[in-house]
Structure 1
Amino acid sequence: MLSESSRQIIEETLPDMQERIRRITPAFYDEMLTEREDLLDGMFSRVDQVVGTQPQALAGSITFFASYVLNHPGSSPDEILTRVAHKHASLGVPAEEYVTVYQFLFKAIEKEFGEEYTPEFRDAWTEIYWMMADALIRIERSLYDSQANDQVNAPFTLVKKEQKADKIFDLVFEPADDTPLSDIKAGQYLSVIVKTKDGLRQPRQYVALPCGLNQRRIAVELDRTGEISPILTGLQVGDTVEISNPYGDLTLEKTVTDGFSPLYVFTQGIGIAPALAFAHQLALEHAARDIIFVHADESLRTWAYREELEEATGKLPRGKLISFLQASGEGDFTGSINMKKLEITPRSFAYVCGPVDFKQTVRSGLIANGVPGKNIQFETFGSDPYMHTATRRTMHRRY
């Protein structure tokens, strides 16, 4: 619990911190990664630093946490912290590096605030930082302990490569050593690490697709201007990469898979990946409720994994697949997703997997049809504020 003396200072300075933190975090990362270049090797994405995603994430996390602690004394935003901890665990962030982050971050804060950076100010925000860091460290330790091995990453060899649609490739890997494999829950992701042209190891996260025993399978969308997807899609059978244990908390919860309320899974583009994992799991469980997969895409040509999703949906007693395609006459409906074409009720549950604008549009449509926010889960493919209060669960995939 936040001390009373710190609470008063945080209340007074939070608005100013919220305004300045977006200038502080880029400066912090720039200096830290200049002095600790080793952190870019397999842990931090340098693309995220260039486009500002990681600095924005940290800025949002600190001020969100401070605001939450002020408004909910004696508690912490466990659901949000768990999501962040899963991301950190997938990258193998060690507990001792929280000290490194603290040192460089507060050096940047001091530079920004100048004379306003009093000992009392420093101590209050230090208390906030370590409250959040200690909570994350505890969760991450538990996540590491739950795995079948103690390795951050292990080598995997590409055994199959197939192009599934325009710019989307299906990659299947098998272990290149005897590291035990952890079980994967439908909807979880893997960090995949490859060597870039200059030799730097760089990580990206990809949803784990259904696969055979002793395998890992991912879908990679080629971005020719990106740094990592051209490398991954250019791999040949026999090539080796590093892959982490599975992480991520956007999984099918018992409260969602059981019961009889309709379950909708909305997807767009490569967002179909977690939906495919859900469909396979639900089919194995012979889920008896109404389960409706709603996919949006440009055309049949760009719609990856359509046949596989159709097959899995067909195994569900009350499963249905509905498509909204931009190409006229190719889908069940033409254009963007229209809630009026669906039988949405306030009892419905929904998972939304796709780009940020897609997520926001679908969420607004669901809310307008009476679906409570607590019944809507998200996975975002693209940039989104790390601690945005409207986002219950968000994972980022980078190219």
Structure 2
Amino acid sequence: MLPVVAGLLLAVAAGGRGAAGERESPPGSRFVCTSLPLDAAGAGCPLPPVPAQGGSPPPEEELKATVLQLRETVLQQKETIGSQREAIRELTGKLSRCEVTDGKGPWKKEKGKDTMGDLPRDPAQVIDQLSRTMQTLKDRLESLEHQLRANVSYAALPSDLREMLQRRLGDLERQLLSKVAELEDEKSLLHNETSAHRQKTETALNALLERVSELEKGNSAFKSPDEFKVSLPLRTNYLYGKIKKTLPELYAFTVCLWLRSSASPGIGTPFSYAVPGQANEIVLIEWGNNPIELLINDKVAQLPLFISDGKWHHICITWTTRDGMWEAFQDGEKLGTGENLAPWHPIKPGGVLILGQEQDFGVHSWARQ
């Protein structure tokens, strides 16, 4: 009786496990029962062989590794493209500055040295720098291609990335070549202008040298007073010489004349220029024991000149409205300079130029009539 009950229990247990196995196992799976000898009851079920660790990885792992490596390559390409964009942006900025400089006219010299990041002011240096930059970009692209071939030798390089890089490099190369051609044209134009200016300057200098040679070959002795156009032998308030031509508006002038005087005190007024509303527009005067004075628009500057020794002296006086700068020369030697003499005041046109007298009445004046 006991064996029958045990058999039924075993059958029920096996049926329950079968039902549970059918619920847990996927549909369509079945169990195969195999009879075992009594001496093999404790041996258990044989397990399928496990592959050794030293074998080749499965295809899924190999594909995962390939995908990860491709992702890293794409990231490296993005970083490289970013650095290339920075280089292109920097070069585009330099080209823009160069175009702005080109738009302002011929190369304008400025004070100071070239600062870091700026294009050199010499066109030859600009061309050399652009050539070096283009060669550097080419080298960087070649290095990138070699690196990509070494890293992904078993995988093809993305065609869109290669095309984009080549397109960018081609555009940049065309821009650089265009800019180099423009700079070459500008350099040639500057050279032609410089040559023309040099030729004009040399022509003027040659004419001046010829004139100086003629004067040196001529008679350098002074003529007698009887041969002068105007002679003022006495110190009076009525002898004077009037220049028929008037002056245009002046922003700078140079006056040179020969003077000889032994008068004391002072030589009087060698010349004066008066305009309506201002009798002392330009006056050279020495009165009393004061030094020789130059008046511009009734502003006074004392000149370090001494000519009251009875000898002939050649004096020159220069003045410019810029900051009122003036210089005084005697017998070819600069004896003094100064500024703030009627600065930024233009000499008015249409006045009267008188030799030997001043044209107003005042403390410093000699009455003309």
Q: Please say whether Structure 1 and Structure 2 have the same fold, judged by a TM-score greater than 0.5.
A: no
| TM-score normalised to structure 1 length | 0.19
| TM-score normalised to structure 2 length | 0.20
**Structure label with greater radius of gyration:** 2
